[in-house]
Chain A
Amino acid sequence: MNNRSQTQRFPLWASLYLALTFAVLAIGFYEAMTAPKEATMGNLYRVFFYHFPHTILSFVFPYMNCVAALLFLYWRRRDAQRALKADAFALASAEVTVLYASVGLATGMLWGRAAWGIWWTWDARLTTYLLLWLLYVSYLLVRRLTTGDQKAVFSAVLAIFAAIDIPICFMSIRWWRTQHPAPVFGGGEDSGIDKHMLPAVFWSLAAWALWGAFVLGLRYAIERRRQRISLAENAPQISPSAAPILEVR
């Protein structure tokens, strides 16, 4: 392939972006570690600065996934190249969703174990969050288990259904837990946060958003390259515009 050398280079802007991300991550870490001690939990609460950005962001990536899925379905018959790009982006955003949700769950469980004495409780937020994680793990499993033409359509449709399901899950589980007596643990974070801790929250949020976008972009680039190789292997005699829309393994 003659464009190999061109595609394999890590572009300068990406290096600069990565450097910026590391700088903001460092500031976020510094702010998180130097923020004032929390009144009741002491230093233990600092996991919040990792837990919070990951959980918030893992509700953002699913909607990127949904938009990419809709674009894929729109472009599927109109513009094969764009459809492939949308599919690659959908895959990347779903993987980042699972990654961030896993980190959110793990930090939450560590925190819960330390603060409440238990790893898990079927509280509203925890249950909703677990369902989010399950939805996108099932999405990734579907991508693994299907092949050929069906794969991209199946996963795009599933992505749309999952995105519709998230708010319904959110509401239903809130009702489930408010109808019953209030949960024993985790009465909610509505109590607010001391304003001296706010810089740490914002820097952490910015840092993990930048990092998430970087991982997403990297995964997207890898998936695009895989698509190009698979197109070149399977249909060498046809021009890219006339090649099958989706790769065949």
Chain B
Amino acid sequence: MSYFGYVVTHLRKDLQLEWRARELINGMLFFALLVVVVFSLAFDPTAYPTMARQISGGLLWVGLLFASITALNQSWARELHNQVLDAQRLSPAPASALFLGKALANLIFVSFIELVLAPVFAIFYNLHPLGQAWLLLVILPLGTWGLTVNGTFFAALSLRTRNRELLLPLVLCPIAMPALLAMIQATTNVLTGEYEPSLWIKLLVGYDVVFTIACVLLFETVLNAGD
């Protein structure tokens, strides 16, 4: 089987597991909706459309960050049942294919949340983007990949530690800070139409490429850290 074949197999397995249980997506979706409601308590978005445009980008990404952190730990914890992870370590498949498969599965899950959440945001916050709204179709996947690639990696790293629920946000947030800045700025620029978001999109692409390479190179070390 080619490397790509291994990645697709892992991806298909994760999608199938999620399709049967639908735990991660339901949990994330409800959590993200709650975050939207809680943020709307802080100010009245329909009464201040300009302010809503300026801060919705940040709110959307903070909601997605929280929601994905809750799901990322679970996505690896599944592999611990019946020593599945040990079986995967024994298998001749490259370790990074396992990682890429899972990161892609997480990307698909979080993108699904975004597809539901973005219209809800637009309705609840009465948003009318002033920039080129189609650019969001580029920004959202790039930003989501930035979060999920590092999130999946560090979730795997904290898998066998005692405080894994606590560790992931502590590690992921500082590392993801430049990506968060870029995605929030790009989304805000699209919503307000004041600046071109192209610079931020470039930064996101750079961030994604650099950290994808780092994760793929180091994943085997992480997977075999226990022995």
Contact = CB atoms under 8 A, between A and B. Distances in A.
B119 interface: no
Interface in A143-161: 145-147, 149-150, 153-154, 157-158, 160-161
A168 B199 contact: no
Contacts of A171: 203
Chain A contact-residue range equals 20 to 34
B161 interface: yes
Nearest to B215: A161
B214 A153 contact: no
A154 B206 contact: no
B157 A157 contact: yes
Given A131-B174, A135-B174, A168-B178, A150 B221 contact: no
Given A168-B178, A168-B206, A175-B203, A149 B170 contact: no
A154 B174 contact: no
Interface string B184-227: 01000000000100011001001100110010001001100111
A161 B214 contact: yes
Contact of B161 (A145, A161, A165): A145
B178 A149 contact: no
B118 interface: no
Contacts, number: 87
Contacts of B170: 138, 141-142, 145
Contacts of B161: 145-147, 150, 154
Interface string A197-220: 000000000000000000000000
Nearest to B158: A154
Main secondary structure of the interface of B (DSSP, over half): helix
B60 interface: no
B160 interface: yes
B175 interface: yes
A135 B169 CA distance: 12
A58 to B, nearest CB: 15
Nearest to A73: B221
Q: Which of A142, A146, A165, A169 is most buried by chain B, counting CB atoms within 10 A of its CB?
A: A165
Contacts of A145: 161-163, 166-167, 170
A179 B218 contact: no
Q: Which of B157, B173, B174, B181 is most buried by chain A, counting CB atoms within 10 A of its CB?
A: B174
A50 to B, nearest CB: 26
B203 A172 contact: yes
A164 B211 contact: yes
Contacts of B175: 135, 158, 161-162, 165
A80 interface: no
A176 interface: yes
28 contacts: A134-B177, A138-B171, A138-B173, A141-B170, A145-B162, A146-B158, A146-B161, A147-B161, A150-B157, A150-B225, A150-B226, A153-B157, A153-B225, A154-B158, A154-B161, A157-B157, A160-B218, A161-B175, A164-B210, A164-B211, A165-B174, A165-B175, A165-B177, A168-B178, A168-B210, A169-B177, A173-B181, A175-B199
Interface of A: 73, 131, 134-135, 138, 141-142, 145-147, 149-150, 153-154, 157-158, 160-162, 164-165, 168-169, 171-173, 175-176, 179
Given A149-B226, A153-B157, A165-B175, 9 more contacts: A73-B221, A145-B170, A146-B167, A150-B161, A153-B225, A162-B175, A164-B211, A168-B207, A175-B203
Q: Which 7 pairs between the two chains have the least Cβ-Cβ distance?
A: A153-B225, A172-B178, A168-B178, A135-B174, A134-B174, A146-B161, A138-B174
